[in-house]
Amino acid sequence: MANIIVEHRWKNHANEEVKKTIAGIIQMANDGKLPEGFQLKSINVLDSELKAICNWEAPSINSMKEFLEKLNPPTKHEIMEAQKAY
């Protein structure tokens, strides 16, 4: 398993669509409908910066990329594998 950080950025005109996407992902997580091996740890939204930072547990960084391709969020995003400090 990998600890994955996904940083999303979007333009102001996409704000409503982004909020709907976030709500949908949270609902998927709450309903146990994420792909096997995926766990949403947190979503932190910085509205004033049109930015969100999501923390996931996923089988690999490549599987996270594939999952995001299917979700096709209305954002530009960067995917990084984080090392646990403790």
Residue 60 sits in a domain whose CATH number is 3.30.70.1060
Cα separation, 86 vs 49, in Å, equals 29
What is the residue range of 29's domain?
Answer: 2-82
Q: Which residues contact 32 (CB under 8 A, 6 or more apart)?
A: none
Mean pLDDT of 40-63: 96
In this predicted structure, what is the pLDDT of residue 85? 74
Cα separation, 48 vs 37, in Å, equals 32
Q: How many domains does the chain have?
A: 1
pLDDT digits (tens, 9 = 90+) for 19-50: 999 999 999 999 999 999 999 999 999 989 99
